[in-house]
Structure 1
Amino acid sequence: MYALFWKSEKEEVCINKMSANRLFSRGKTCLLLKKYNEALTDFNNLLELEPNNTFALRLRGETYLRLEKNNEEGKLI
């Protein structure tokens, strides 16, 4: 019984780590493609899994800055 629980817990950690890596990669890609809302969604979801991920925090901040700049440029046109 305990071995089954331990295996399940280890698998969950592995799945969460894979999910975190995918969210980070997809978020970076969306940021580069100027899909800022999608990037924010990925970085926010990643930070739910890993709240202290400094890379995700930095890129989320950068995304907010670019989104704000993009919105300001749209108002000038």
Structure 2
Amino acid sequence: MNEFTRFTFYPVTGWHIGPLSDHRALVLQFGYLDPTASREHPPQETLFFGLTIEMAKELVSNLSDQIDYVEKNGAKH
């Protein structure tokens, strides 16, 4: 079993992100492909998610750590 068959994942096609008016927060929405839909089906969009500035900074840090890991260790076949 390879990593892609352990769980269903939804490839991200893009995102919208911006400040939440009158708050120290951001909103984030992802576009994604539904792996169970036909290839002709257009990308879907999530609801808008709210993140505090602290959460957004932690997300950036976590993403950076994971990018560094993948770049150093390469793809495993």
Same fold, judged at TM 0.5 (above): no
Give the TM interval when normalised to the shorter protein.
0.3 to 0.5
Which structure shows the higher strand fraction?
2
TM-score under structure 2 length normalisation = 0.35
Which structure shows the higher helix fraction?
1
Who wins on radius of gyration, i.e. which is larger? 1
